[in-house]
Structure 1
């Protein structure tokens, strides 16, 4: 096929383009901005556009299909030309479905946790030598690409995104995959991050269940009240329904053991959310024909999906974890997970707060007491970003102190100061949890860890 990508520079889009080119398709693409790592990956594959920008001349009747990225607006000149010529236009999920019609499609959905559950299933299948394709939204350890599509793999694992398919299609992406096996981990509406109303957001998941093929299977978290209600509202679907819940576990000397029958299986991950994710991943694997002993032997070597309670470093006494902080609830649960895992040690938590959190005073209030379980708290706010938003720094600092209401908290406004703090901090008896937001401050977390773990005679005052 001759395929042209409008907005080829996206993280998932450029991976799909490279995958299709490797399969022998003639691929071209355009974009108005391409950044790393997309730029280097496209250049290496020989797919980097000769000129950045949109050009209707790229669109000719010789093309068999257009794949439209979400970044391209509805009035994009190349899109308008394609519509004029009547060329078949696919959104990303539509095209993935077309390429996987003859496979067992496993779609993992949920407000959060889906990347981790997909990565757990991928880890197990890879460990067992099973052939499978996949479509994920984040780089996973042990996998070089976000997408693998082949003609031979009998299974495709897909991370199901509930957001719009494209600028000309307001259907949710996961409505196009028509799964044979679907999983819903949780459903949480966030008025600050979700573009639609709570009613519409929940409806998207109900419609997702409706897209499961006849006699297919829905795996769902029966400990999430919203999920249970959504599943109950879709009783008429002729599908199998299999609920799961967090397994029993124990923690001994910083290691979590999951109870499987009479056995205690040691894990390399921590936190109740991860344990719930394992239960979901196991249930999916069970429907794929994986035996219980095979699954738990495989999952015992699973470390973490990238930046979700991810172990960074240890000196044998203190440990460092990093995590992705997208909500106050996530901040609380991650702090609790590390404190529960290492109950005899104190915890220093560093949270990066982006300007959006500060601009929205009502949102900042949601962080009230969110770090109370951490023994020391650091809130990092980049003062340069604050200046760009024309916010008075002193007002911000005062508001943060008042809102977090932590009696042992420090506010830091530049990266050098943060480095100095960690270098002077006496880490004996402390662990470190570094929570970064979606804009990421660009620091080397390993460097942070080295500074934190270097013991000092003089304690930080």
Structure 2
């Protein structure tokens, strides 16, 4: 098979390119810019384009397929040439389905927690040496790439994103996988540039339920009232299994799963709910509850999901992918609940289209109230790039309903402020789906201790 990737540098795209290369396919690709770690990974396998930029001569009529990434535009010259030649064009979720249509497909959807649930399932399957393919949205310990596709594996575990599939395919990615077993972790409005109202957004999950194969299984969070209502109203011919927070206790900063008192390396109500979802999936894959508990005890979490940067008897420093209102609140609450005797300095970097929209910003009201020190950072360049009007400190304080909140749009001033604080019996939580104000977080953690 000869396959060309347009926008090969994307997170899922470059991992899929490597996976297909390992499968023996002939892979080429292009992009206008490729960042690390994609650049080094592609180079390792001889897949890094010799020149950056687009060139229609990369599209011969002999190609079996083109896989189109979201980074490309609809007027991309390589895309236009492929359309002119009649070459089959796939979005990457479409191609993932092509690679898995003869397998049992487990699809993890939801506004939050899907990477963690997927990661937990992969960890447990790997612990018991099961053969499986996968697509996950974060780098995991013990897994070289974020995508694996083979001929032999009988099952594929897929993290199902609700964002658009490609520039020419406006369907949400998770609508294309046709799950046999599906999970929905919860619904919290996001991507307002595509789904301008909450009703538009929730509709995508209703449609996702309809894509589940007949007599398949939906595992859903019953503590999300809107989700529960959608599931109960659905007429899809599927089995519906609810889940919630499992029985547990927290002692001296460690969370234990009951009744066996299994110690966990992760914590927080959302992680515990994620764990319950993963357990139900694994039971469907013939791993019983006791086997699951043994394996999950060694799960340390996915990258950037309450990832420990530094820890000692007085101060822990975490980084987390939290950026939407629900994720922000859940992450702050998790750290405060786990460490009741420590103060919490919480800093969120906002940079997504939704978070920089003044109307949507109101969705963050109360999200940082549990933090002892709440800080919001927005790089002024983010507004410039999106051609949006910058916020003032007052705008942010009002939207978050927190007049004590500190606001920064200069990373140098933010760093100076963080270094002035007293971290005795205090944790620092840095949250972003971007680059954390450009900080080297291990270096920042070391400076705090000085």
Question: Does TM, scored on the shorter chain, surpass 0.5?
Answer: yes
Q: Distance in 1 between matches of 2:174 and 2:355?
A: 32
- What is the aligned partner in structure 2 of residue 375 from structure 1? 372
Ranges in structure 1 where 5+ consecutive residues have no aligned partner: 455-461
Q: Distance in 2 between matches of 1:179 and 1:391?
A: 38
Indicate which of 314, 338, 363 corresponds to 2:311. Answer: 314
**Partner secondary structure for residue 209 of structure 1:** helix
Decide whether aligned partners of structure 1 residues 193 and 423 sit closer, same or farther in structure 2, where only a CA change above 3 A counts.
same
Pairwise CA distance, 1:8:
1.6
Q: Distance in 2 between matches of 1:433 and 1:42?
A: 32
> Which aligned pairs between 1:77-156 and structure 2 lie closer than 5 A?
77-156=77-156
Which of the two has higher C-alpha Rg? 1
Decide whether aligned partners of structure 1 residues 381 and 20 sit closer, same or farther in structure 2, where only a CA change above 3 A counts.
closer
- What is the aligned partner in structure 1 of residue 183 from structure 2? 183
Pairwise CA distance, 1:274:
0.5
Pairwise CA distance, 1:182:
0.9
TM-score, scaled relative to structure 2: 0.91
Q: Is the 8 A contact 1:109 1:184 kept in 2?
A: yes
Indicate which of 434, 444, 449 corresponds to 1:448. Answer: 444
Pairwise CA distance, 1:17:
1.3
Pairwise CA distance, 1:255:
0.9
Pairwise CA distance, 1:281:
0.4
- What is the aligned partner in structure 2 of residue 457 from structure 1? none
Q: Distance in 2 between matches of 1:284 and 1:248?
A: 18
Deviations 1:328-365 (A, max 9, x none): 33322222211111112222222334496885433444
Q: Distance in 2 between matches of 1:8 and 1:173?
A: 17
> Which aligned pairs between 1:318-397 and structure 2 lie closer than 5 A?
318-354=315-351, 360-382=357-379, 396-397=392-393
Deviations 1:208-230 (A, max 9, x none): 22222222211111221222122
2:429 matches 1:433: yes
Decide whether aligned partners of structure 1 residues 3 and 386 sit closer, same or farther in structure 2, where only a CA change above 3 A counts.
closer
Q: Distance in 2 between matches of 1:67 and 1:437?
A: 25
Ranges in structure 2 where 5+ consecutive residues have no aligned partner: none
**Aligned-CA RMSD value:** 2.6
Q: Distance in 2 between matches of 1:94 and 1:6?
A: 15
- What is the aligned partner in structure 2 of residue 246 from structure 1? 245
2:416 matches 1:420: yes
Q: Distance in 1 between matches of 2:57 and 2:191?
A: 41
**Partner secondary structure for residue 139 of structure 2:** coil
Q: Distance in 2 between matches of 1:369 and 1:223?
A: 20
**Partner secondary structure for residue 214 of structure 2:** coil
Deviations 1:104-153 (A, max 9, x none): 11110111110010001011111122121111122223222111111222
**Partner secondary structure for residue 378 of structure 1:** strand
Decide whether aligned partners of structure 1 residues 141 and 442 sit closer, same or farther in structure 2, where only a CA change above 3 A counts.
farther
Judge which range, 409-418 or 103-112, deviates more.
409-418
- What is the aligned partner in structure 2 of residue 9 from structure 1? 9
Q: Distance in 1 between matches of 2:208 and 2:432?
A: 31
**Partner secondary structure for residue 441 of structure 1:** helix
**Partner secondary structure for residue 348 of structure 1:** strand
Pairwise CA distance, 1:285:
0.4
Q: Is the 8 A contact 2:5 2:28 kept in 1?
A: yes
Q: Distance in 2 between matches of 1:388 and 1:231?
A: 39
Q: Is the 8 A contact 1:119 1:140 kept in 2?
A: yes
Q: Distance in 2 between matches of 1:299 and 1:146?
A: 20
Q: Distance in 2 between matches of 1:302 and 1:155?
A: 21
Q: Distance in 1 between matches of 2:388 and 2:197?
A: 29
Q: Distance in 1 between matches of 2:77 and 2:356?
A: 35
Decide whether aligned partners of structure 1 residues 203 and 360 sit closer, same or farther in structure 2, where only a CA change above 3 A counts.
closer
Deviations 1:433-455 (A, max 9, x none): 2222435322121122222334x
Q: Is the 8 A contact 1:206 1:233 kept in 2?
A: no
Q: Distance in 1 between matches of 2:94 and 2:171?
A: 11
Q: Is the 8 A contact 1:354 1:439 kept in 2?
A: no
Aligned residue pairs total 450
Pairwise CA distance, 1:288:
0.4
Q: Distance in 1 between matches of 2:271 and 2:36?
A: 30
- What is the aligned partner in structure 2 of residue 34 from structure 1? 34
Decide whether aligned partners of structure 1 residues 358 and 41 sit closer, same or farther in structure 2, where only a CA change above 3 A counts.
closer
TM-score, scaled relative to structure 1: 0.89
Judge which range, 134-143 or 280-289, deviates more.
134-143
> Which aligned pairs between 1:48-67 and structure 2 lie closer than 5 A?
48-67=48-67
Decide whether aligned partners of structure 1 residues 140 and 428 sit closer, same or farther in structure 2, where only a CA change above 3 A counts.
same
